[in-house]
Amino acid sequence: MSTRDAPERQAARLSGPAPRILVIQAPYYEQVVGGMLRGAERVLAEAGAALEVVSVAGAFELPAALRMALSHPGARHDGFLLLGCVVKGETDHYDFICDAVCHGVMAIGVETGAAVGFGLLTVDTLQQAIARSSDDRHNKGAEAARALLGQVALRRRWGLA
Protein backbone atom coordinates (compact mmCIF):
# COMPACT_ATOMS: atom_id res chain seq x y z
CA MET A 1 0.00 0.00 0.00
CA SER A 2 1.43 3.35 -0.98
CA THR A 3 1.41 6.47 1.16
CA ARG A 4 -1.13 7.89 -1.27
CA ASP A 5 -3.50 5.01 -0.36
CA ALA A 6 -3.06 5.52 3.37
CA PRO A 7 -3.75 9.18 4.24
CA GLU A 8 -4.45 8.22 7.85
CA ARG A 9 -0.75 7.55 8.36
CA GLN A 10 0.53 10.96 7.34
CA ALA A 11 -0.35 14.45 8.44
CA ALA A 12 -1.99 16.77 5.95
CA ARG A 13 0.36 19.26 4.34
CA LEU A 14 -0.81 22.72 5.23
CA SER A 15 -0.10 25.88 3.34
CA GLY A 16 -0.09 29.18 5.13
CA PRO A 17 0.63 30.00 8.75
CA ALA A 18 1.02 27.43 11.49
CA PRO A 19 -2.41 26.23 12.58
CA ARG A 20 -3.74 27.24 15.99
CA ILE A 21 -5.36 24.22 17.58
CA LEU A 22 -7.48 24.01 20.71
CA VAL A 23 -7.36 20.60 22.35
CA ILE A 24 -10.33 19.90 24.60
CA GLN A 25 -9.63 16.84 26.70
CA ALA A 26 -11.73 14.88 29.15
CA PRO A 27 -9.02 13.19 31.23
CA TYR A 28 -11.32 11.03 33.37
CA TYR A 29 -9.09 8.11 32.31
CA GLU A 30 -5.89 10.09 32.74
CA GLN A 31 -3.46 7.43 31.45
CA VAL A 32 -5.52 6.83 28.33
CA VAL A 33 -6.28 10.43 27.43
CA GLY A 34 -2.72 11.44 28.31
CA GLY A 35 -1.43 8.85 25.84
CA MET A 36 -3.82 10.09 23.17
CA LEU A 37 -2.70 13.67 23.83
CA ARG A 38 0.96 12.69 23.44
CA GLY A 39 0.18 11.01 20.12
CA ALA A 40 -1.73 14.07 18.92
CA GLU A 41 1.02 16.43 20.06
CA ARG A 42 3.58 14.55 17.95
CA VAL A 43 1.44 14.85 14.82
CA LEU A 44 0.56 18.48 15.45
CA ALA A 45 4.19 19.38 16.20
CA GLU A 46 5.16 18.00 12.78
CA ALA A 47 2.66 20.45 11.28
CA GLY A 48 4.11 23.31 13.36
CA ALA A 49 0.81 23.80 15.16
CA ALA A 50 0.43 26.07 18.16
CA LEU A 51 -1.57 24.25 20.84
CA GLU A 52 -3.77 25.29 23.69
CA VAL A 53 -5.07 22.50 25.93
CA VAL A 54 -8.11 22.75 28.20
CA SER A 55 -9.77 20.07 30.28
CA VAL A 56 -13.38 19.24 31.04
CA ALA A 57 -14.78 16.85 33.63
CA GLY A 58 -15.80 14.05 31.29
CA ALA A 59 -16.76 13.06 27.78
CA PHE A 60 -20.30 14.38 28.20
CA GLU A 61 -18.92 17.92 28.51
CA LEU A 62 -16.93 17.82 25.24
CA PRO A 63 -19.69 19.15 22.93
CA ALA A 64 -20.60 22.00 25.28
CA ALA A 65 -16.95 23.01 25.62
CA LEU A 66 -16.58 22.96 21.83
CA ARG A 67 -19.63 25.20 21.48
CA MET A 68 -18.25 27.60 24.11
CA ALA A 69 -14.89 27.76 22.34
CA LEU A 70 -16.57 28.50 19.02
CA SER A 71 -18.69 31.21 20.66
CA HIS A 72 -15.79 32.95 22.42
CA PRO A 73 -15.28 36.26 20.59
CA GLY A 74 -11.52 36.48 21.28
CA ALA A 75 -10.63 32.91 20.38
CA ARG A 76 -9.02 32.41 16.99
CA HIS A 77 -8.45 28.71 16.50
CA ASP A 78 -8.06 27.00 13.14
CA GLY A 79 -9.28 23.71 14.53
CA PHE A 80 -10.44 21.81 17.56
CA LEU A 81 -9.29 18.39 18.77
CA LEU A 82 -11.53 16.56 21.21
CA LEU A 83 -10.05 13.71 23.26
CA GLY A 84 -11.77 11.41 25.73
CA CYS A 85 -12.64 7.87 26.65
CA VAL A 86 -15.79 6.04 27.69
CA VAL A 87 -15.49 2.50 29.04
CA LYS A 88 -18.56 0.29 28.95
CA GLY A 89 -19.96 -0.63 32.33
CA GLU A 90 -22.88 -2.71 33.54
CA THR A 91 -25.56 -0.08 32.88
CA ASP A 92 -26.96 1.80 29.88
CA HIS A 93 -24.98 4.92 30.90
CA TYR A 94 -22.30 4.08 28.30
CA ASP A 95 -24.81 4.02 25.44
CA PHE A 96 -26.40 7.31 26.46
CA ILE A 97 -23.09 9.12 26.90
CA CYS A 98 -21.56 7.84 23.65
CA ASP A 99 -24.68 8.69 21.67
CA ALA A 100 -25.04 12.17 23.19
CA VAL A 101 -21.39 13.10 22.70
CA CYS A 102 -21.17 11.82 19.12
CA HIS A 103 -24.40 13.50 18.05
CA GLY A 104 -23.50 16.72 19.86
CA VAL A 105 -20.09 17.04 18.25
CA MET A 106 -21.41 16.12 14.82
CA ALA A 107 -24.24 18.67 15.06
CA ILE A 108 -21.83 21.45 16.03
CA GLY A 109 -19.40 20.53 13.27
CA VAL A 110 -22.08 20.43 10.60
CA GLU A 111 -23.77 23.61 11.81
CA THR A 112 -20.60 25.69 12.09
CA GLY A 113 -18.28 24.12 9.54
CA ALA A 114 -15.53 24.09 12.16
CA ALA A 115 -12.53 21.83 11.66
CA VAL A 116 -12.94 19.18 14.35
CA GLY A 117 -10.84 16.13 15.13
CA PHE A 118 -12.83 13.64 17.17
CA GLY A 119 -10.81 11.33 19.40
CA LEU A 120 -13.35 9.69 21.67
CA LEU A 121 -12.53 6.09 22.52
CA THR A 122 -15.63 3.99 23.16
CA VAL A 123 -14.41 0.64 24.44
CA ASP A 124 -15.51 -2.42 26.36
CA THR A 125 -12.45 -2.54 28.63
CA LEU A 126 -9.77 -0.26 29.97
CA GLN A 127 -7.17 -2.56 28.39
CA GLN A 128 -8.64 -1.82 24.95
CA ALA A 129 -8.36 1.90 25.66
CA ILE A 130 -4.75 1.57 26.78
CA ALA A 131 -3.90 -0.31 23.58
CA ARG A 132 -5.43 2.51 21.49
CA SER A 133 -3.56 5.23 23.37
CA SER A 134 -0.09 3.70 23.46
CA ASP A 135 2.94 5.22 21.79
CA ASP A 136 2.68 3.31 18.52
CA ARG A 137 1.07 3.66 15.12
CA HIS A 138 -2.34 2.70 16.51
CA ASN A 139 -2.63 5.78 18.73
CA LYS A 140 -6.11 7.21 18.20
CA GLY A 141 -5.11 10.67 19.40
CA ALA A 142 -2.57 10.83 16.58
CA GLU A 143 -5.21 9.56 14.15
CA ALA A 144 -7.70 12.23 15.25
CA ALA A 145 -5.00 14.92 14.91
CA ARG A 146 -4.28 13.82 11.33
CA ALA A 147 -7.98 13.97 10.52
CA LEU A 148 -8.17 17.45 12.05
CA LEU A 149 -5.25 18.70 9.97
CA GLY A 150 -7.05 17.40 6.89
CA GLN A 151 -10.11 19.43 7.85
CA VAL A 152 -7.99 22.54 8.46
CA ALA A 153 -6.40 22.05 5.01
CA LEU A 154 -9.85 21.81 3.41
CA ARG A 155 -11.05 25.00 5.14
CA ARG A 156 -7.96 26.81 3.87
CA ARG A 157 -8.34 25.40 0.37
CA TRP A 158 -11.92 26.62 0.17
CA GLY A 159 -11.14 30.02 1.71
CA LEU A 160 -13.01 29.38 4.95
CA ALA A 161 -10.09 30.06 7.26
Q: How many alpha carbons lie under 13 Å from residue 135 in its C-beta half-sphere?
A: 5
CA dist., res. 153 & res. 19, Å (int): 10
Alpha-carbon distance values, 153 to 6, 12, 14, 40, 53 (Å):
17, 7, 6, 17, 21
Give me the catalytic one of 72, 77, 93, 138.
93
The Cβ of residue 129 has, within 10 Å, a number of other Cβ atoms equal to 23
Provide the residue type at 109 as one letter: G
93 is catalytic: yes
- Residues serving a catalytic function are 93
